[in-house]
Amino acid sequence: MKFRLGLTGSIGMGKSTTAAMFAEEGCVIWDADAAVHRLYSAGGAAVSPIQQAWPEAIENGAISRDRLREIIAADKTALPRIEAIVHPLVQQDRTEFARLHPDKIGVFDVPLLFETGGDAEMDATACVTVPQEIQIQRVLARGTMTQDDLERILSRQMPNDEKCSRATYVIRTDTLEHARGQVQDIMQDIRKGLSDA
């Protein structure tokens, strides 16, 4: 792969929308959540090892996320054990994706990029951000989680300010036009760096 850009940001910051903008600019996108979905689906690489450890987590040949959540809630040791199974498989998926696109600029959409040390594999990183009140409005407007759910998720993530300070680029997603302009600037910067190399 010619260049790897790690794209991260907390829930409700506009990461998926920003990833789509990079795709419009000709990048190939690897999505960590989609990779986990593939691994958890029937026939996915995570099904057999999870089934051996927690047979009750399997439903119709696939891993049930709801059942995994129940297992994690009931057993404090479960989450690190699940991560020890799933993270290496996600890593393999990411490596294979890069191998399949040797001449492309790849954007790796990883919610926990800094938390998992994934930034070490990237040529640069970009963090999407909006003020906290906009983030809360966006997440609650989806109607899929409560304020308590959101706070629980955020408590497991690195604070937004820290992510932004660690990132090579910061993308403010307050409006689509503003975000798109920043994506175009980043792509110009990356392409210039590649042509100068």
Contact 41, 34 (CB under 8 A): no
pLDDT number for residue 37:
95
Instruction: Assess whether pLDDT exceeds 90 at residue 151.
Output: no
Is the model's pLDDT at 157 over the cut of 90? no
How much is the pTM?
0.89
Tens of pLDDT along 112-145?
899 889 999 999 999 999 999 999 999 999 988 8
State the pLDDT at residue 35.
Answer: 96
Tokens 């927690």 correspond to 54
| HSE-up (13 A, CA, CB side) for residue 57 | 24
Domain ranges of the chain: 1-27+104-185, 45-102
The pLDDT of residue 92 is above 90 = yes
Instruction: Work out the percent of the chain whose per-residue pLDDT is above 70.
Output: 100
Find out if CATH 1.10.3720.10 is the number for domain 1-27+104-185. no
